[in-house]
With several copies, the nearest count.
Chain A
C-alpha cells in the first residue's frame, strides 16, 4: 500500500476477482473503528429495457484511471478523516452476479467512512475512464452514461 499524507492507499485495476474479507482485513490497521465497503455487482438485466444481459466487457485507459482514482481519494481525505482506502476495479469480460468494483474505506469514526466511501464511488462513476459494452442475445452495445450519476455528485457540493 502507498501512503498519501496519512492515508494508506491501494488501487488495483485487474481481470481477477477480489476477496472482500481479505481486503477488509488489510484495511483493518491502526485502530480504524469503522470500515465501510461498497461492492458493485454485474446485473443480469438492462435497467431501462429489462433485456437480459449475457455478459459485459470493460476497457479502461491505463495510467489515467489510476491517477483519477488517486485524485478522488485525495479529495475525500481532505473532507473526512480517514486512515486507509482500497479501490479495486475489474476489467475484461464479466458475467451477471460477478463482483465488478470494490471501494473500502477505514476510519476512526463511522460517518467519515460512510461519507468517504460514498463520495469515492460517486466520483469514480463520473471520472474514472472505464467503458462497458453489454452483450445480450441480440446485440453488443456500449453502455450509455447514466445521467443520474451526474446528479449523484451534486450532493457533495451541498453537504459538507
Chain B
C-alpha cells in the first residue's frame, strides 16, 4: 500500500510517500492510523489533531471507517487552502 502525506502532516511524518505492507488486522482507515501510531512516534504527532485530518482513498475523499486493502493509495492531508 502507498501512503501519501501532504502539507504539515508530510513535515511531521518526514516523508511525502511511503510503501507499507498492510497487516491483516488493518481493515479500515481508522485501523491504519492506529497501526502507524503504534509503529512510530512521528505518527503520533502527525495524527494528533485526528478529527481535522482529511483522507483520500485512491484519490477520492473517504472517511475513517472506509475499508482498505493493500492495493489502495491512501492520502492524509489537512483541510485544503488553495484558491
Contact = CB atoms under 8 A, between A and B. Distances in A.
Given A59-B6, A124-B83, A131 B59 contact: no
Interface string A97-127: 0001100000000000000000001001111
A138 interface: no
Contact of B59 (A40, A58, A61, A132): A61
Contacts of A133: 7
* Candidate in A101, A131, A132, A144 with the most chain B CB atoms within 10 angstroms: A131
Interface residues of B, number: 17
Interface string A54-66: 0000111101100
Interface in B55-72: 56, 59-61
B59 A145 contact: no
Q: Which 4 A-B pairs have the closest CB atoms?
A: A130-B82, A145-B79, A131-B7, A64-B59
Interface residues of A, number: 27
Interface string B35-79: 000000000000000000010100111000000000000010111
Main secondary structure of the interface of A (DSSP, over half): mixed
Given A61-B59, A64-B59, A132 B82 contact: yes
Interface string A64-107: 10010000000000000000000001000000000011000000
A142 interface: yes
A145 B77 CA distance: 12
Nearest to B75: A61
Given A61-B4, A61-B59, A142-B7, A132 B75 contact: no
Nearest to A103: B83
B82 A124 contact: yes
Interface of A: 40, 58-61, 63-64, 67, 89, 100-101, 121, 124-133, 142-146
B80 interface: yes
B83 A131 contact: no
Nearest to B56: A64
Contacts of B25: none
18 contacts: A58-B82, A61-B75, A63-B59, A64-B59, A89-B82, A125-B82, A125-B83, A126-B80, A127-B80, A128-B80, A128-B82, A130-B82, A131-B6, A131-B77, A131-B78, A131-B80, A132-B82, A146-B81
